[in-house]
Amino acid sequence: MEPTELLRTNRLVPVVVLDDAAHAEPLADALATGGLPVAEVTFRTPAAAEAIARMAAHGGVTVGAGTVTTVDQVDQAVRAGARFVVSPGFSAAVVRRCQEHGIFVLPGASTATEVMTALDAGVDVLKFFPAGTSGGAPAVAALSAPFPQVRFVPTGGIDADSAADYLRLPSVLAVGGSWMVPRKAIAAGEFAHVAELVRASVAAVSR
């Protein structure tokens, strides 16, 4: 499935911080069991590249790389088998490298100027980040007026309740967040609990 279709279908993007690459497989299983076969593994820990590679090899979920802020991380993500790249902001260098690799890139934007910079670079699916503190769903709706061709994936400060506010907007493909994959629960190996949180989040947004 194409990444855009994957986002549209699943409606949620779990933003994962893995401290130990050995948690990659049980987390992939927990996501699949909970009904959310996608993971954004962030480059916030040294375990990220190995965790992406292990998840990609394990199967059951489509794995992407998050918190990608440098060209070198793009290369690492592609080498590890990531299917998409997410960045908190807009870097022309990061976007260009993704385009050279032919990998789907979801850069961050929270202002009209950043949206226009992204459009100039040929990108029209954007992460609205940090969503909660940048005005929430009303801000996405306001940005969508001059840019009807842009699709947003709001992320940052969202939970199961506020997710629905964003998902009601026609310009919102999916929302991202870490609320259903708490770092502590993963680190503690509580994968049944994670699967339950994932299942509840999927249920909350399909209502």
How many angstroms separate the CA atoms of 93 and 96, rounded? Answer: 5
Minimal distance, residue 24 CB to ligand ELE, in Å: 17
Catalytic, out of 5, 100, 114, 127? 127
Minimal distance, residue 46 CB to ligand ELE, in Å: 15
- Pattern 145-184, ligand ELE, x by CB under 6 A: ----------xxxx-----------------xxxx-----
Contacts of 49 (CB under 8 A, 6+ apart): 43, 76, 77, 79, 80
The closest of 11, 12, 84, 22 to 47, measured between CA atoms, is 22
Q: Given candidates 62, 67, 110, 162, which one binds ligand ELE under the rule CB under 6 A? A: 67
Does residue 88 bind ligand ELE (CB under 6 A)?
Answer: yes
The closest of 195, 205, 113, 114 to 158, measured between CA atoms, is 205
Which amino acid belongs to residue 196? E
Judged by the rule CB under 6 A, the positions of this chain that interact with ligand ELE are: 15, 42, 66-67, 86, 88, 108, 129, 155-158, 176-179
